[in-house]
Copies of this chain bind each other. A is one copy, B any other.
Amino acid sequence: MSAETWLTQLHENGYRVTKARGAVVETVVQSKRALTPVEVYDMARKKYRALGLVTVYRTLEKLEELHLVQRVHQAAGCQAFISACQGHQHLLLCQNCGQATFFEGDDVEPLIQSVAKKTGYEIREHWLQLFGLCESCRNN
């Protein structure tokens, strides 16, 4: 998905389209890795020098609210964000290069049903992440 689409989404939800938001959105859309707010700040400032870190936080907050971005949980912490425009998806992360890949998790449904039955829970959300080595990192 393109940065323009995201900006349109922001606009349609009553938010204004500004240079600062443009730089943040472009940075996150283009990245193949999950980025921390400071990483977004450093990268986006190459596109728009006057950008402030506070604006990065506030923009990421709005993007998360619109489900354009999702949080990535890792051993180091869970302050990293990645583009998530296709709705809820499961993540596969390369422990070497950090590259993130989404995968379909249809197979999770039966597991959820079975756990719900065994435990008496009503399950409302699930969250699955896999970690390993991507093809190109395996070959090095």
Contacts and interface: CB of A to CB of B under 8 A. Distances in A.
A121 B90 CA distance: 14
Instruction: List the number of copies, as a whole number.
Output: 2
Contact of A118 (B103, B111, B124): B103
Contacts of A78: 73, 77-78
Interface residues of A, number: 36
A119 B103 CA distance: 9
Contacts of A92: 115, 119, 121, 123
B127 A121 contact: no
Interface of A: 73, 77-78, 92, 94-95, 101, 103, 105, 107-108, 110-112, 114-116, 118-135, 138
